[in-house]
């Protein structure tokens, strides 16, 4: 029998109302939001009733998504789900680390609040953007980026999809080059050039924040976006350098499959990772947490 993995989504799928139903129906979710509200008053209100624009602000997006994802994971665990591997896309890695027991929930939430603040601060220094490039192989996207100063390939998502970060003023010309090469670009709902050199200072300061954390051995195999492999070595290095380094998601997922994972459950408010995993390997099962909750957990 294959293994179950929880994968936690990153920025982009956030939306007003996320978590509201969970809190009404499941005490485990209410406990998580209560903790987050104690540490950052107004988190639940932002998740349940914040505007689209408010939730797009990185300083808000990251704590709100963390709260929602941790709540959803705690509900599934409370209902008997037992994942044997965990991973998260960008900020989702912090939620995955908390569920793995690398640090407790309170520490994870404090860290993600600081992470969001640092990344927003750096994003506000330059007019930058992110976009997904589809219908082109990763190697071709990398070659195109090399021709545009301050445009970087940053998230290697799945076959035929790579996310780039860069200066906003470079993006129209870059998009035209992608079109000429037979590809297409899709702007992302984020404000900043994440996972690129534009985030170097945020990564450095986050490393200082992590220096004060006492890490525990993960209770479940936890994968790193930076290496696409299970955690090994210094967790602070993996979590901080991830901010300015690429997310190697396709390689990570393939590694999980090679290790025996055949069922992936996306913990998040959308289906972005589910769709990516289905493109990486059609032979595995990938589904959202809501589908998994209704199918498997006898709720």
Positions marked catalytic: 90, 195
Residue 60 has, within 13 A of its CA and on its CB side, a CA count of: 21
Long-range pairs of 165-172 with CB within 8 A, sequence gap ≥ 24? 165/128, 165/129, 165/130, 165/192, 165/193, 165/194, 165/195, 165/196, 165/198, 166/128, 166/129, 166/193, 166/196, 167/126, 167/127, 167/128, 167/129, 167/193, 168/127, 168/128, 168/129, 169/127, 171/129, 171/131
CA distance 79 to 58: 31
Angle between helices 272-280 and 249-258 (to 10 degrees): 60
Q: d(Cα 259, Cα 144) in Å, to the nearest integer?
A: 33
Question: How far from chain centre, in Å, is Cα 43?
Answer: 18
CA distance 112 to 17: 20
Distance, in Å, from the CA atom of 49 to the CA atom of 240, rounded to the nearest integer, reads 31
């Amino acid at each position: 029998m294959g293994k179950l993995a929880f994968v936690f989504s990153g920025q982009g799928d956030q939306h007003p109302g996320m978590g509201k139903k969970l809190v009404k129906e499941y005490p485990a979710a209410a406990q998580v939001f209560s903790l987050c509200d104690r540490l950052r008053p107004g988190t639940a209100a932002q998740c349940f009733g914040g505007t689209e624009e408010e939730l797009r602000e990185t300083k808000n997006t990251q704590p709100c998504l963390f709260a929602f994802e941790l709540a959803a994971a705690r509900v599934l665990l409370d209902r008997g789900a037992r994942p044997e591997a965990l991973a998260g896309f960008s900020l989702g890695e912090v939620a995955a680390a908390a569920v793995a027991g690398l640090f407790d929930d309170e520490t994870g939430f404090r860290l993600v609040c600081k992470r969001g603040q640092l990344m927003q601060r750096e994003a506000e220094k330059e007019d930058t953007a992110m976009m997904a490039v589809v219908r082109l192989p990763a190697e071709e996207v990398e070659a195109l980026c090399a021709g545009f100063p301050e445009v970087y390939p940053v998230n290697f998502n799945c076959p035929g999809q790579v996310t780039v970060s860069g200066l906003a003023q470079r993006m129209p010309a870059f998009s035209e080059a992608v079109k000429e090469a037979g590809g297409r670009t899709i702007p992302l709902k984020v404000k900043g050039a994440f996972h690129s050199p534009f985030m170097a200072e945020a990564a450095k300061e986050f490393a200082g924040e992590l220096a004060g954390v006492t890490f525990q051995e993960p209770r479940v195999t936890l994968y790193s976006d930076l290496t696409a492999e299970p955690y090994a070595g210094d967790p602070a290095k993996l979590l901080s350098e991830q901010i300015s380094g690429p997310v190697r998601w396709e390689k990570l997922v393939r590694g999980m499959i090679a290790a025996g994972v055949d069922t992936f459950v996306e913990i998040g408010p959308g289906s972005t990772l589910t769709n990516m995993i289905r493109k990486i390997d059609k032979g595995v099962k990938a589904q959202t947490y809501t589908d998994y909750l209704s199918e498997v957990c006898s709720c």
